[in-house]
């Protein structure tokens, strides 16, 4: 009897100890298509989520080709977060090919004020881009106001797959939206002293249309919105003439672009290329664009300094 009771108590302790000894609820596994979204998911999810990013820092999401390991990653996650607007056409194909059955968030869902993609190398202010391809510019994260929509969509997606975390996701999203508002106000102040004639920038590919629309800056790019499309020699020559005619000194290359095009442009137009801007990818940790907020502060500072030379 005595032994029996001890055995029973031991068994009971074992049973009771199982939930206590088990780790706290498993974090929600999320796949983000590229690094900027990965950062936003981490901010909204906090320690409740683990994020895997398919296109990492300093990499080009336009020309990304998923590897078999990416299909494996995706299948082990509960939520796939993409930008949409044709930015990562490979993401839906990957999900389909892998047989992914989890939830999805398209971060730009419900976004207002989308702008059409300008034609590569076109001078938008001369009606030269009349033959715009009719597609939408996907780089909507370059306007902090748009990222508020991204963050709300991400919070809603996380809440769908993890309803117990709803309040936490909402609180994190609200706090981050305040930071985005502060970023926007700060950016307005950085550009405030520039004249309309100074507000012109050359970048390698056309990733900054939304930033330009928000802060009244004209961006010119030889490569258009998609890095897959090589600009023609004629388009590059037109851009060089424009740089010389309008005396544009704010010339930048992006962290994920091939720098050779801008080196040629810089040489032929006789201008110096400024520091790298972070357009479609964050920097690695320890570099100036390791989070969305850092990347935007870096870009805005560089752009404002560059345009002062115009
Ligand atoms: Zn891009």
Cβ atoms of 190 and 143 within 8 Å: the answer is: no
Residue 23 confidence (pLDDT) above 70: no
Angle at 221 between CA 217 and CA 223, to 5 degrees: 150
Tell me the per-residue pLDDT of 117-126, one tens digit each, with 9 for 90 and over. Answer: 765 544 433 3
Residue 11 confidence (pLDDT) above 60: no
Q: What single string gives the DSSP state of each residue in 271-310?
A: --B-SPB-SSSPPPTTSTTSSHHHHHHHHHHHHHHHHHT-
What average pLDDT does this structure show over 80-102? 96
DSSP 127: T
Using a 10 angstrom Cβ sphere, with 0-12 exposed, 13-18 middle and 19 or more buried, the burial of residue 158 is buried
CATH number of 28-110+139-182: 3.40.50.1980
For the chain, residues classed under CATH 3.40.50.1980 are 28-110+139-182, 193-308
- How far is ligand 1, taken at its centre, from the CA of residue 88, in Å? 10
- How far is ligand 1, taken at its centre, from the CA of residue 279, in Å? 7
- The pLDDT of residue 9 is 52
- How far is ligand 1, taken at its centre, from the CA of residue 205, in Å? 7
- How far is ligand 1, taken at its centre, from the CA of residue 191, in Å? 23
- How far is ligand 1, taken at its centre, from the CA of residue 262, in Å? 15
What 3-state class would DSSP assign to 268?
helix
- How far is ligand 1, taken at its centre, from the CA of residue 285, in Å? 21
**HSE-up of residue 259 (Cα within 13 Å, Cβ side):** 11
- The pLDDT of residue 269 is 87
What average pLDDT does this structure show over 65-79? 96
- The pLDDT of residue 8 is 54
What average pLDDT does this structure show over 32-52? 98
- The pLDDT of residue 22 is 45
- How far is ligand 1, taken at its centre, from the CA of residue 114, in Å? 15
pLDDT > 70: percent of the chain: 87
- The pLDDT of residue 4 is 56
Q: Which CATH class is domain 193-308?
A: alpha beta
Please give the residue that has the higher pLDDT: either 224 or 200.
200
- How far is ligand 1, taken at its centre, from the CA of residue 168, in Å? 32
Tell me the per-residue pLDDT of 122-175, one tens digit each, with 9 for 90 and over. Answer: 443 333 333 334 589 999 999 999 999 999 999 999 999 999 999 999 999 999
- How far is ligand 1, taken at its centre, from the CA of residue 51, in Å? 22
- How far is ligand 1, taken at its centre, from the CA of residue 305, in Å? 23
């Amino acid at each position: 009897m005595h032994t029996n009771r001890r055995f029973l108590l031991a068994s009971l302790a074992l049973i009771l100890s199982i939930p206590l000894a088990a780790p706290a609820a498993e974090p929600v596994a999320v796949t983000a298509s590229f690094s900027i979204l990965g950062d936003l998911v981490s901010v909204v999810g906090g320690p409740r989520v683990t994020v895997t990013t398919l296109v990492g820092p300093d990499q080009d999401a336009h020309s990304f080709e998923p590897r078999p390991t990416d299909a494996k990653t995706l299948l082990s996650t509960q939520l796939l977060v993409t930008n949409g607007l044709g930015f990562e056409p490979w993401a839906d194909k990957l999900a389909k090919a892998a047989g992914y059955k989890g939830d999805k968030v398209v971060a730009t869902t419900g976004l207002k004020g989308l702008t059409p993609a300008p034609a590569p190398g076109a001078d938008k202010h001369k009606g030269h881009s009349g033959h715009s391809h009719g597609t939408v510019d996907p780089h909507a994260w370059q306007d902090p106001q748009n990222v508020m929509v991204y963050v709300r969509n991400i919070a809603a997606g996380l809440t769908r797959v993890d309803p117990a975390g709803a309040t936490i996701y909402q609180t994190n999203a609200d706090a981050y939206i305040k930071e985005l508002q502060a970023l926007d106000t700060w950016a307005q102040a950085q550009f405030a002293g520039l004249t309309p004639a100074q507000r012109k920038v050359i970048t390698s590919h056309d990733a900054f249309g939304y930033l330009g629309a928000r802060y009244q800056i004209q961006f010119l790019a030889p490569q258009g919105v998609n890095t897959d499309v090589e600009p023609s020699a004629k388009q590059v020559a037109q851009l060089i003439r424009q740089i010389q005619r309008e005396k544009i000194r704010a010339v930048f290359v992006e962290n994920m672009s091939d720098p050779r095009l801008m080196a040629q442009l810089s040489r032929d137009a006789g201008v110096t290329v400024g520091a790298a801007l972070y357009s479609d990818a964050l920097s690695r940790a320890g570099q100036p664009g390791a989070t969305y907020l850092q990347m935007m502060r870096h870009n805005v500072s560089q752009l404002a300094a560059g345009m002062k030379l115009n």
